[in-house]
């Protein structure tokens, strides 16, 4: 994989002086400028093995990663923003946050390094960029044994329950969402939940049919070689046939998604 930096990436880089604090190992570093009232080290050390597991999973063994944590002046904090092999996240100067929720933001931003779909025409690839990131950042730490049932159950209910089923914009078409998402915060969250649920449903269909996994296409593409919706459709057509392509088009048009019956069976093991 080409790891050279693009000019646009320099444009979103931070230049600073002064004492920089760090918690790092050979491939992963967490950097911050002032000591918060909570400890960064245990959070960073929880991320190290998940990063190791994910980079091996996505066949990217030489990946190096940097996280910049910033104390911000906002009451509503703990958001994140990712670029390739790095992300920034903030914690509020006012204190008070849900550590599990924040940890999930951190693994979400880290996971953005791998699943990728072109989204220059904003809305076309958002369902995948955010949905696949949500899907993998929930399942990989769980199947790798890094996060327990309780954490994962909380994530599932937040990501599928609150962000999709309880979302008033759950039937808004993908291409309509960018027009309103900066006014309607909940609309902006819809592609995360919709994409996650749609991909989990597709994974269930593939496994039931013995036709592999969404991993087979996800791992072929990346930031250097973005997937396009046409690639996704070709994959569906090849593995599951025309009906799956129609289901995909219905999803993009905002058709309500039901959870695959696989979710409702307690004896099914992925």
Least distance to Zn ion, CB of residue 206, Å = 24
Where does this chain bind Zn ion (CB under 5 A)? 130
Nearer Cβ to Zn ion (141/236): 141
Nearer Cβ to Zn ion (133/172): 133
Cα–Cα dist 45/25, whole Å? 9
Least distance to Zn ion, CB of residue 130, Å = 5
- Is 47 in contact with 54 (CB distance < 8 Å)? no
Least distance to Zn ion, CB of residue 82, Å = 6
CA dihedral 45, 51, 56, 59 (to 10 degrees): -160
Q: Residue 235: CA atoms inside 13 Å, Cβ hemisphere, count?
A: 22
Nearer Cβ to Zn ion (131/206): 131
Nearer Cβ to Zn ion (130/203): 130
Cα–Cα dist 234/230, whole Å? 6
Report which of 203, 175, 202, 205 is spatially closest to residue 191, judged by C-alpha positions: 175
Least distance to Zn ion, CB of residue 214, Å = 18
* DSSP state at residue 223: S
Nearer Cβ to Zn ion (124/130): 130
The residue at minimum Cβ distance from Zn ion is 130
Cα–Cα dist 77/70, whole Å? 10
Least distance to Zn ion, CB of residue 105, Å = 9
């Amino acid at each position: 994989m080409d790891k050279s930096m693009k000019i646009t990436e320099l444009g979103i880089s931070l230049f600073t002086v002064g004492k920089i604090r760090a918690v790092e190992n050979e491939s992963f570093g967490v950097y911050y400028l002032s000591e918060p009232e909570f400890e960064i080290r245990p959070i960073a050390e929880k991320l190290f093995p998940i990063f190791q597991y994910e980079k091996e999973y996505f066949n990217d063994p030489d990946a190096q990663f940097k996280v910049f944590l910033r104390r911000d002046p906002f009451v509503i904090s703990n958001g994140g923003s990712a670029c390739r092999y790095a992300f920034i996240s903030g914690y509020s100067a006012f204190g008070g946050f849900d550590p599990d929720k924040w940890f999930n933001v951190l693994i979400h931003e880290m996971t953005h390094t791998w699943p990728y779909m072109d989204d220059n025409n904003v809305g076309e690839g958002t369902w995948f960029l955010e949905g696949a990131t949500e899907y993998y950042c929930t399942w990989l730490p769980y199947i790798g044994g890094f996060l327990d049932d309780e954490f994962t159950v909380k994530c599932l209910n937040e990501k599928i329950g609150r962000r999709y089923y309880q979302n008033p914009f759950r039937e808004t078409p993908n291409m309509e969402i960018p027009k309103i998402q900066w006014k309607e915060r909940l609309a902006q969250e819809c592609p995360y939940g919709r994409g996650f649920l749609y991909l989990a449903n597709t994974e269930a269909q593939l496994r039931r049919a013995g036709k592999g996994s969404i991993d087979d296409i996800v791992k072929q593409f990346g930031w250097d070689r973005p997937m396009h919706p046409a690639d996704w459709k070709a994959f569906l057509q090849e593995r599951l046939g025309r009906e799956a392509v129609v289901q995909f088009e219905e999803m993009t048009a905002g058709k309500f998604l039901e959870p695959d019956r696989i979710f409702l069976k307690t004896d099914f093991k992925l």
